[in-house]
């Protein structure tokens, strides 16, 4: 074989082995999803899987990856309804509803993960798996709960972690609670090294961390929680998506990386007016990994709708990022 032919063959082999070029990635994210109370739950029991998402279907399905925080475990319907207003379980059709609405992955690490107990938490994971919805932050054992879930889209490998710093009952006894065997706690002793290892080994192109914690109904996170969010970026996270306060909080950038301090509510109707405006976060990631964030403003309800006018402007001010609309993405 001549030298020129050998060089040509090596060049063809290199081209064949080169990974395909990454395209622009669209990641959408929403806050708390509660399909276990009032109208949202009742419509699922009646067989209407798309009720809670119907008016935003085109938007949710328009992303390459759609993420949300699932605050209602999924269990067989017993016909019983919790009257305390603090414990939620959704009927089995909730998993199919999420899949049909376009959700690719949900966090199951939050303070309501144990609302139905051990059996319901396990059933939640099984129902989501059957429906084809990935979950992160829980598992059949602590090792699984703390593992990242890697989603592949447009030649991207996006690794998701999910942790919680909120727990029912009180978090201070978390590792003595049975739920510690199933749900990932926001312990910096494992999450920071796990992110570093993922980046150093090159197993992911982007690392997204979902964090449930902080203080409810406040405009900004307390310092102890902010320190955790910033620490995740220091460890190598590319995007932090936080929730639990039930209200929107400003998006900040640290070391050039975005931290969404609170995504607020999505399908989770509460009495306080400031909990009833939220957004679908739209993250556009260019092939060079630069991110552009914008918000599609929504009115929170058991069936969320688009927000317009003064309500939309309020969403923009609260988040501090530009607005985007489904018609002009």
The pLDDT score that the predictor gives to residue 173 is 86
pLDDT confidence of 3, banded at 50, 70, 90? low
Neighbours of 241 (CB within 10 A): 28
Of 223, 265, 225, whose CA–CA distance to 247 is shortest? 265
At residue 15, does pLDDT exceed 60? no
The pLDDT score that the predictor gives to residue 124 is 98
CATH class of the domain whose range is 26-319: alpha beta
Over residues 207-263, the pLDDT tens digits come to 999 999 999 999 999 999 999 999 999 999 999 999 999 999 999 999 999 999 999
The pLDDT score that the predictor gives to residue 19 is 60
The pLDDT score that the predictor gives to residue 105 is 98
Q: What is the DSSP letter of 216?
A: T
At residue 64, does pLDDT exceed 60? yes
At residue 114, does pLDDT exceed 70? yes
Over residues 150-165, the pLDDT tens digits come to 999 999 999 999 999 9
The pLDDT score that the predictor gives to residue 76 is 81
Bigger pLDDT: 5 vs 329? 5
Instruction: List C-alpha distances in Å: 157 to 100, 150, 204.
Output: 23, 6, 5
DSSP class per residue in 98-131:
HHHHT--EEE--STTTTTTHHHHHHHHHHHHHHH
- DSSP H or E run through 69: strand 65-70
The pLDDT score that the predictor gives to residue 328 is 44
Mean pLDDT of the chain: 92
């Amino acid at each position: 074989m001549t030298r020129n032919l050998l060089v040509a063959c090596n060049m063809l082999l290199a081209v064949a082995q080169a990974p395909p070029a990454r395209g622009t990635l669209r990641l959408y994210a929403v806050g708390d999803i509660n399909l276990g109370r009032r109208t949202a739950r009742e419509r699922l029991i009646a067989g209407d899987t798309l009720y809670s998402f119907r008016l935003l279907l085109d938007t949710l399905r328009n992303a390459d990856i759609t993420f949300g925080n699932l605050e209602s475990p999924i269990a067989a319907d017993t016909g019983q309804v919790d009257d305390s207003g603090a414990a939620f379980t959704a009927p089995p059709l909730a998993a199919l509803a999420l899949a049909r609405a376009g959700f690719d992955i949900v966090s199951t690490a939050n303070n309501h993960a144990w609302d139905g107990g051990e059996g319901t938490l396990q059933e939640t994971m099984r129902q989501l798996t059957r429906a084809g919805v990935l979950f992160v932050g829980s598992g059949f054992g602590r090792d699984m709960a703390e593992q990242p879930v890697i989603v592949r889209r447009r030649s991207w490998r996006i690794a998701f972690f999910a942790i919680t710093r909120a727990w029912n009952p009180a978090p201070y006894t978390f590792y003595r609670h049975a739920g510690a065997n199933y749900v990932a706690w926001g312990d910096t002793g494992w999450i920071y090294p796990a992110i570093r290892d993922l980046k150093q080994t090159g197993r992911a192109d982007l690392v997204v961390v979902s964090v449930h914690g902080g203080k409810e109904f406040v405009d900004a996170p307390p310092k102890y929680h902010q320190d955790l969010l910033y620490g995740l970026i220091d460890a190598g996270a590319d995007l932090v998506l936080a929730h639990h306060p039930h209200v929107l909080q400003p998006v900040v950038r640290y070391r050039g990386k975005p931290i969404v301090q609170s995504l607020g509510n999505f399908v989770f109707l509460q009495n306080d007016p400031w909990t009833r405006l939220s957004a679908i976060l739209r993250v556009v990631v260019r092939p060079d990994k630069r991110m552009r964030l914008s918000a599609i403003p929504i009115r929170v309800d058991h069936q969320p709708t688009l927000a317009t006018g003064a309500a939309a402007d309020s969403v923009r001010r609260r988040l501090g990022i530009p607005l985007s609309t489904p018609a002009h993405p």
